[in-house]
Amino acid sequence: MRLNAEHIAYAQDTEALAKFAKALGHPTRMAILKYLKKQSCCFTGDLVDVFPLAQSTVSQHLKELKSAGLIQGEVYPPKIKYCINQENWNKAKTLLQHFFE
């Protein structure tokens, strides 16, 4: 079976939606995204001060969000500054909206 451009786009969008949904599948990660959206950017230590979690736990959640492409990190040794990845944030919003229509 040959896949046409429409099928390929559908498959890519479905994979992207699943990746975003998996990252959003934990309440702490959703709270981190909500916090980052309000703050624009912050360092890992800022999140440790806000959430009652160990730094290693916060770092693991940040790793998952970054892996999904919802956030991006910029290294400022010895810290990392995290921000919402606006392009993927908008893509996730669009895909979720289309999914629920």
- Between these two residues, 3 and 14, which has the higher pLDDT value? 14
Inter-residue long-range contacts of 22-29, CB under 8 Å, 24+ positions, other chains counted: 22/68, 23/64, 23/65, 23/67, 23/68, 23/70, 24/70, 24/92, 26/61, 26/64, 28/53, 28/57, 28/61, 29/61, 29/64, 29/65
Q: Where are the beta strands (DSSP E) in 1-101?
A: 41-43, 71-76, 79-84
**CATH number for the domain harbouring residue 10:** 1.10.10.10
Q: How many domains does the chain have?
A: 1
pLDDT in tens, 13-59: 899 999 999 999 999 999 999 999 998 899 988 999 999 999 999 99
pTM, full prediction: 0.86
pLDDT reported for residue 37: 93
pLDDT reported for residue 21: 96
- Residue range of the domain that includes 30: 5-100
pLDDT reported for residue 13: 87
